[in-house]
Amino acid sequence: MSEIKLIVGLGNPGAEYTHTRHNAGFWLIDELAWAWNARLKEEKKFFGEVARVTRPEGEIWLLKPNTFMNRSGQAVAALASFYKIKPEEILVVHDELDIPCGRIRFKLGGGNGGHNGLKDIQARLGTPGFYRLRLGIDHPGDRNLVVGYVLNKPSAEDRQAIDDAIAKSIQGLPLVLSGQWEEATRFLHSK
C-alpha cells in the first residue's frame, strides 16, 4: 500500500483568480502550508510553487501549479517524475461542481467529470490512478453557466462552507497520510 508523497492543489495563478471557486485546491494547500509551517517557493522546473515537508509519515511535497488549470498535469508530472513519485502516491485537491458546497469526497481513480485540471493530469501521468480530495462548490444549475460560476467568487456563506470543508480535510489528512483509507473516507464524507 502506497503512502501519499505529493499533495497537489489545483487552481489558476494570478490575483484575479485568487478568490474564485476554481481555486479551492489552492486554498487548501495555503492552509496546509500554514498549519505545517511550510513555505511555498516558486520552482520553475516544477512549473509551480512547492514546499517539502517532513512529517511523521515521511517526506511530503506540496504543489500549487503555476500553469493554468488546463495544464496542471505539466507541473504534477514534472515533480512526480523528478522525485520518482508514483501516481498512487499523489493526492490531488480540487473543486467539484457535482458535490454540494462544503461537502468533501475522497477517492482513488475514476473519471475526470469534465474537470480540465484532472483531464490534463490523467493525460500527463497516463493513468487516472491517483487519489482525489474533491471539495464541493455546488453547480450553477445550467452547464452553460459553469465557466462563469467557477471563475467567480462564492458568496460569503458558500466561502465559509468551503473553508469549513478545507479545515475538516486538513483534520482528516493524518488518516489519509497513514494509509487508513476507510477511516479517512468515513471521516471526510461525514457531515
For the annotated catalytic residues, the residue numbers are: 22
Is 68 a known ligand-binding residue? yes
Asked if residue 70 belongs to a known ligand binding site, the reply is yes
Distance CA 116, CA 153 (A): 19
SS3 call for 60 = strand
Alpha helices in 87-155 (DSSP H): 116-125, 146-150
C-alpha cell at 88: 498512487
CB contact at 8 A, 155 and 123 = no
Starting at the earlier edge strand, list the strands of the sheet with 48-55.
41-43, 48-55, 58-65, 6-9, 90-96, 131-136, 104-108
Nearest to 9 by CA among 55, 66, 57: 66
CB distance 80 to 90 below 8 Å:
yes
Helices (H), the chain: 24-35, 72-82, 116-125, 146-150, 156-177, 181-189
152 appears as a binding residue in the annotation: no
- Inter-residue contact 87 to 134 (CB < 8 Å): no
Residue ranges of the binding site for tRNA: 17, 68, 70, 116
Residue ranges of the binding site: 17, 68, 70, 116
